[in-house]
Structures are given as C-alpha cells and as structure tokens.
Amino acid sequence: MRPTGLILPRGSNPDRDLVPGKAPTTHIVWGPRCALRLEVTGVDVGEPRRWPSLEPEVPERVVHAIVGLQGPGVAPVLSCAPTPAGLALQLRRSAVFERVLGAVAAYAAPTVPAAPGPRVVLHCPALRGSPCALRLSQLRAVLVADHLARALHAHRVSVRLVPAVRDPHMPTFLQQLRVDWPAASERAATEALRSRALAELTPARNAEALPPGALGRVYLKELVDERGRTTGYDPKLDSCLGRTRSLAGPESSRAPHSPPASALCVLFAVTEDLLAVLAELQQAVQDWAEDSSLGLAAAPDAGADSCMVVHVVSCEEEFQQQKLDLLWWKLDDQAPLRQKHLVCGPVKVAGAPGTLTAPEYYELRHAQVCKASALKRGRDLAQDSAWMEIFRVLSVATIKFEMLSTAPQSQLLLALADSSISTKGTKSGTFVMYNCARLATLFESYKCSMEQGLYPTFPPVSSLDFSLLHDEGEWLLLFNSILPFPDLLSQTAALPCTAPGLHITARTEMVCKFLVQLSMDFSSYYNRVHILGEPRPHLFGQMFARLQLLRAVREVLHTGLAMLGLPPLSHI
C-alpha cells in the first residue's frame, strides 16, 4: 500500500469532494476497497459523511501505518480514529503547509531511488529518416520517446537512445523541437551479424528473384511459433514476413539451411540496411557506456537480459518492427529477451488532408504564434531576436502539449485553427507558458518593490506563519498540485518491465494534463487574490506566506516543463 495513495486520492474531484468554506482541518474517511474519500469540514467538525459499502473494520496495522507516514507526498496526520463510517483522518492545514512549504525542493523534484534503476534502450525508428518525410504520427512517437527519456533520466534510470540520427537536417529540426537526441559519429559494425545472416540464409530456388539489395532470405517460422503467438505478435506475420510457400522433394535436394520438406516456411529478406539497424541496437545493449552526465554505469555483471528494449513506434511502423524483433533473435544469441513495443496511435488532422509533414506542422504553429503576437502588440516583432526566441518556445510548447496531452496509444485529433495558440485557451501549452510568465512577473515585481524599500527582504521560511493561509484556493494548490507532484513524476517514469506480452503503455500524458490543471488553479487564484498588498507591516505575514506557496508552485511548474524540454518564460 503506497503512502501517497493513502493520503492523496488522485481521483478525487475537488469541486465535488471539497466542501467550500475556510477550514483549518481536512478529514479523510476510509472508503470501499480501502479507498479514501476526502471531506473538508468547518471548525465545528460534525459527523463524517457516510459512504456506501464501507469496509466493516479498518485493520489496526493500517491505523498505525497511516499515523506514522513520513516523506514527500505525504501529509502529516493530526489524528486518526475509527468512526461508524470508517477511519477518519484529520489533517491540520497549517501543519501541512509548514511541512511542504518548508521543504519545497523535496516536493518539486523527482524522488531519486536509493539504488540505480534498470537499464532501458529507447528505440525510435522514426528518426532514421529525414525531417521532410516525418509524418505526424512519427513526430508523436519522437516526442513521446524524448519525454519518456527525460522522465527516466530524472529517476536515475540508465537510458540509451537509438538510433543516433544520420540525416544532416534532422539534428537542426530536433533542436527546433527541443528534443535531446544523439547524432551519429560512425556506423555500428555489421560484420558479425552479416556473417551470421549469411550462414542462416535460405538460397533462392528455381530462378527465384530476391528484392533489390537483399542478401538472401532467413527462415523465421520457428521463432513465430515459439515467441510470436504467445507474446502478442501480429498473426499476419506468417504470411507477410516474406514469401510463404511449401517445399517438397527429397531430402538430398535441399540446401543445408533450407527448412524441412513439406513445411510451411516464413522467409524474410535480409538487407544491409536491416543489418545496420540491428547492429546499432546490438551495440547499445552490449557496449553500455557510462552516462557521464548522471554518473551512472551498468553493473559489471549486467548482461543483455538485465536491460529492456522499448521500441517507441507509430502504429504504421509497428508491423515492420515486429519483423525486426524476430530477425534480431534469429541472428544474435545475446539479443534481449525483453523487447517491448510502445505503439503511438494515429494522428488525424481536422479539416485537412493527412499529408501534413512534421516541418510543415511546426512552421504553421510558428506562423500562428507570430501572427497572434503581432495582433496583440500592434507591431511585427520578426526583427527582434529575443522575441523570436520566445515565439519559437511558444510554438514548441503548443506542439508538445497537443501531441502529449493524450495517452500515446489513443488516436489524436489535431485542430489547426489559430485559436489553438491563444493564451486564453485553458488547454493549450501557450496557456501554461503564459501562467509561467505571470509567476515570473509576480516575483520580479516583489523584487523591485523590495529594492525600492516598500517591502522588507524575504524572511526565513521557518519564521513564516502559514496559519494565515485561509483561502480555499491556497489549499487546493498545495493539496492537488504540490503534494502529489513527486508521485506523478514516478508514475510518468514507470514502465511495466515484467508485464507479459509484447505491448506496454506509458503515462506520458500525465505531466501535460497536470501542468494544465495547475495553471488553471493558479490562474483562478491569482485573478481573485491580490498577492502583493499594501506595504503595511501587519499585512507582510500573509503576503510572505502566499509568496512561499507560489514559490513552490513555480518550482513545480518549472520541473514539469523541464520534463518536456521546455524552458520557463519570464514574459510573453
């Protein structure tokens, strides 16, 4: 039972479960199937709300465990007592504020595990081509892979990224998108795989023609039967891996590596390009270099089975990748047994043909951002290098939030209208960046006022009186955004390594959705509450408590944006 799950019911709806009003305590009631329901009551705490089908008795071990919970993501429990409705937990808000806001760094950063995590090879086949040929579904796979790599790195998981891009234009395009991916220096050696492939080749018979560039065909029927059917490989592989035919004739007439007579055989044409793909994957697994940026290295006795290869593919690429999986196992006895496919669903463009390429999509969003800014400011800022950099960041933020806010396995519908980049649209990346800039402006205003002598310098956090935070919006920001943030990052980086089957899922949509909701909650609070009040001493206590809360909001927001490869903006 995870501590964060006990104290932070992620599925709770604040608008439904939180009773409006200023309350110093929060009650959590043990609910069905050990789920906890949230109820905020006034100073005069009445009977806790009854929930249907409650557990008849709360285990004693649960009572003791909850009272003693400690660490990031866990609210300090004031009291814990059985009631007819279940187990009622009382949280003193000022104590929760003090615990969390006194240790902002612990809540605004990923929880680093005590021991190094598993080794992961992230393979994104879409990066083997050129940008002009990159479809939107492939762009989605690239952004998912980049985001997942950042989340894994933040949790000290050793990650290798494959392929190293070779197209001369791809690094520039990835830099535009703020995607951090290695470029190739030299090609991986293919001699060993080529020798093994030549030894396994089934020669052509009866003037059979091979595809251009093919070295020959490899018999993969045994692998399809042994691994494919039980792990979720496409059953059509039988007929599509190559040419399906029936071989007959005396045993003496067969070549040494031909399949058995009268056997239905699956033949796959092997080319030098396929061997180059497999050689790079093989090298990533076998020659696991130390990641100097994190100080991580593979364990000395770590073999191929100690790592997992995750192929992040578009739905159009998955079938080809399944064939390559089988070929890798056929030609390399040390190929990892754990190969998983993270398949990204199709991308549909509303009101437009599906021929839009990734660079065209970027240019469209960039033009829309520039146009919106010119209309807002009444002048063209195309000659201002500082503003153009901001526009590039906003364009990428728009694209990443559009591509990553939906679960990767689901279909994505894009709307290309200009309204998608408005700062008033609460679902867009531009809206998140706008609120990031509002926070920066707030703290810059405080700094200027302090330098002018209107406000005193910020006091030590330990001296702040968080009982002055009475507004319901302040509690929602802490309870729904700051407190659960480390757990959210952990879920984003969680890969079901031991899950059966070929396909896995990843929660790469969680950070974008979280940042949008955080921005909405902050915007609602900021529009309603005046943070920098009159420069009067009796008001400074509440002002500093609120600024410390928004410091934590800012740090969480910046960390979330870093998981997307986006820098915080100070103005828009």
pLDDT digits (tens, 9 = 90+) for 388-405: 999 999 999 999 999 999
Share of the chain above pLDDT 70, in %: 72
> What is the spatial order of strands in the sheet that 244-246 belongs to?
201-202, 214-219, 264-271, 244-246
Give me the mean pLDDT over the 94-116 stretch: 84
Res. 1: pLDDT tops 50:
no
CA 126 to chain centre: 18
| Greater model confidence, 87 or 416 | 416
User: How many whole angstroms separate alpha carbon 394 and alpha carbon 362?
Assistant: 11
Q: What is the dihedral of CA 499, 501, 503, 505, to 10 degrees?
A: -20
pLDDT at 463: 95
Under 8 Å CB-to-CB from 16, ≥6 apart: which residues? none
Whether 156 shows a pLDDT value over 50: the answer reads yes
The arithmetic mean of pLDDT across residues 436-465, rounded, is 95
pLDDT tens digits, one per residue of 496-545: 877 778 889 999 999 999 999 999 999 999 999 999 988 999 999 999 99
Return the H-helix or E-strand segment holding 239.
helix 237-240
Length in residues, the chain = 572
The tens digit of pLDDT for each residue in 354-366 reads: 588 999 999 999 9
Predicted confidence at residue 47, as pLDDT, reads 35
Q: Is the pLDDT of residue 486 over 80?
A: yes
What are the domain boundaries of the chain?
A: 60-108
Task: Write down the pLDDT at residue 496.
Answer: 82
Residue 39, pLDDT score:
35
Mean pLDDT check: name the lowest of 64-78, 282-296, 316-330: 282-296
Lowest-confidence pick of 23-27, 38-42, 301-305, 370-374: 38-42
Tell me if 474 sits within 8 A of 543, measured CB to CB: no
> For residues 182 and 184, what is the distance between their CA atoms, to the nearest angstrom?
7
Q: What is the pLDDT of residue 323?
A: 85
Q: Model confidence over 190-224: pLDDT tens digits? A: 777 778 777 777 665 544 566 777 777 777 667 76
Give the pLDDT of residue 111. 79
Asked if residue 521 lies in contact with residue 435, where contact means CB atoms within 8 angstroms, the answer is: no
Looking at per-residue confidence, does 482 or 39 come out higher? 482
Name the residue type at position 328: W
* Tokens (6 digits) for 496: 């079901």
Name residues whose C-beta falls within 8 Å of residue 381's C-beta, 6 or more positions apart in sequence: 370, 373, 374, 387, 388, 391
What is d(CA 388, CA 313) in angstroms, rounded to the nearest whole number?
32
Is residue 93 very low, low, confident or very high in pLDDT (cuts 50, 70, 90)?
A: confident
DSSP 301-360: T--GGGEEEEEEEETTTHHHHHHHHHHHHHH-TT--S-EEEEEEPPEEETTS-TT-BHHH
Residue 409 is predicted with a pLDDT of: 93
Among residues 207, 243, 237, which one has the least CA distance to residue 225?
Answer: 237
Is residue 553's pLDDT more than 70?
Answer: yes
pLDDT digits (tens, 9 = 90+) for 316-351: 998 888 888 888 888 888 888 888 999 999 999 887
Query: Distance between CA atoms of 520 and 508, rounded to whole angstroms?
Result: 20
pLDDT at residue 300 above 90? Answer: no
- By three-state DSSP, how is residue 498 classified? coil
Q: For residue range 139-151, what is the model confidence (pLDDT) as tens digits?
A: 999 999 999 999 9
Between the two ends of the chain, the Cα-to-Cα distance in Å is: 44
